[in-house]
Amino acid sequence: MNKKFLVALILPLLLIPLASFAYAHNYDYVEKKYKLHVGTMWANITYFHVDYVKAMDKDNDGILFGDEVMINVFEDDCTWKVHIMVDPVSGGFVLNTTMTITNLGDLPWTVTWARSGTPNFYPVWDNSTDDECWDYMDDPKPVPPMWPRELWSWDIKYYKENATGRYPATPTQFVYKPGNNFTVVQHINLRQPSTTAESALYKQIMGSWFYIWEIFTFESEELIEDSSWTFPPLG
């Protein structure tokens, strides 16, 4: 066989593995991926209970709930709301309630229940027999006359609840982690007039509508800083 022909035949065969070897080492990869999940701020009313109510049975049918006492718990535009209407209210009226708000998201939050340095509760009366809509309290307006202090009592307590127990809470005192509860235990009482002066005050407010407005603000916990993390681990 012609030696030149043999070399011409063998050379390409020898080059094939060399080409394969070169091709396999022409490319290499390093890959980095980020996966970021936006946390959820989620404060839901998970429990609302009337612990005790004492009210006038206007139509004498022995039923208060859904009749003289109307309670609606619902979500509206990403805000949980409780609307409580009692009609009529008289001296001796008592309403005790417990409300639990649970952190159902994955961001820890703190809670505040005071507005602009004023108490959270906002009991007012408009000295009118008109029943305004629920949005009446949402519109900015001059501070109306207060419900006469001599005729009512008010008590409200706040608690943080987690796996270890229940703790009295003040605004922003605790961080509520996912699954923790913020519980509000509340008492309101329209007293029976016991003096001539109180009776005169009661006559002034007869037929009026009273509005109590409470706002709870939930804020995500502050971010923390840290450094540094190294690969491979030091040491």
Judged against a pLDDT cut of 90, whether residue 136 lies above it is answered with: no
Q: For 187-228, how does the pLDDT look when each residue is reduced to its tens digit (9 = 90+)?
A: 999 989 999 999 998 888 888 888 788 889 899 988 888 888
Measured at the CA of 26, the angle between CA 24 and CA 31, to 5 degrees, comes to 95
Tens digits of per-residue pLDDT, 161-175?
Answer: 999 999 999 989 999
Convert the pLDDT of each residue in 55-77 to its tens digit.
999 999 999 999 999 999 999 98
Supply the mean pLDDT for the chain.
83
Domain boundaries along the sequence of the chain: 43-220
Two tokens at 185?
């235990």
Contact criterion met (CB below 8 Å) for 193 and 199: yes
